[in-house]
Amino acid sequence: MDENQTNTPSHANSEHEEGKTSHHGHRGDTRGQNRSSHSSETRPPLDTIYVGKKPPMTYVLAVVTQLNQGSNHVNLKARGRAISSAVDISQIVKHKFIPDLKITLGDVTTEDLASEDGSMRRVSSLTLVLSK
């Protein structure tokens, strides 16, 4: 896998494309402009992985990679049906790759999201903190 595929789960597709530009910019001026134009509210932290519809091992690899590259912790975030996958991912990392991993509950919330028909839906959200 190349670097871009490893980082895919930690960002939404549109943000991943922006992240790819800012991390691999051709000119120093361009890189600085891209970083300064993004506030911390619109760009997810680098230590956060959002669990979605991809196979669980994609996220396991992302977690293990970040922890092995020097991060002390990784936030694993999931909403709705992906919550059970986030729990599975944390257990795979602990039992197969990093036995001394500490898993703590970061946050449990309910978010209001607009559905496809425009109505508002309440969706559960979970954050697990995985640390060495």
Which of 16-20, 32-36, 58-62, 105-109 shows the lowest per-residue confidence on average (mean pLDDT)? 16-20
Indicate the burial class of 48 (C-beta count within 10 angstroms; 0-12, 13-18, 19 or more): middle
Instruction: Decide: helix, strand or coil at residue 79.
Output: strand
Position 37 confidence tier, pLDDT thresholds 50, 70, 90: very low
- The rounded distance, in Å, linking the Cα atoms of 73 and 79 is 20
pTM: 0.66
**What pLDDT, on a 0 to 100 scale, did the predictor assign at position 43?**
64
Fold that domain 46-132 belongs to in CATH:
Translation Initiation Factor IF3 (3.30.110)
Residue 129, CB half-sphere, CA atoms under 13 Å: how many? 8
pLDDT digits (tens, 9 = 90+) for 40-73: 456 667 799 999 999 999 999 999 999 999 999 9
DSSP state of 86: H
**What is the location of CATH 3.30.110.20 in the chain?**
46-132
Q: Which of 120, 110, 126 is nearest to 51 (CA)?
A: 126
**What pLDDT, on a 0 to 100 scale, did the predictor assign at position 42?**
64
Q: At what angle are helices 82-92 and 56-68 packed, to 10 degrees?
A: 50
Residues ≥6 apart with Cβ < 8 Å to 54: 8, 9
- The rounded distance, in Å, linking the Cα atoms of 47 and 62 is 10
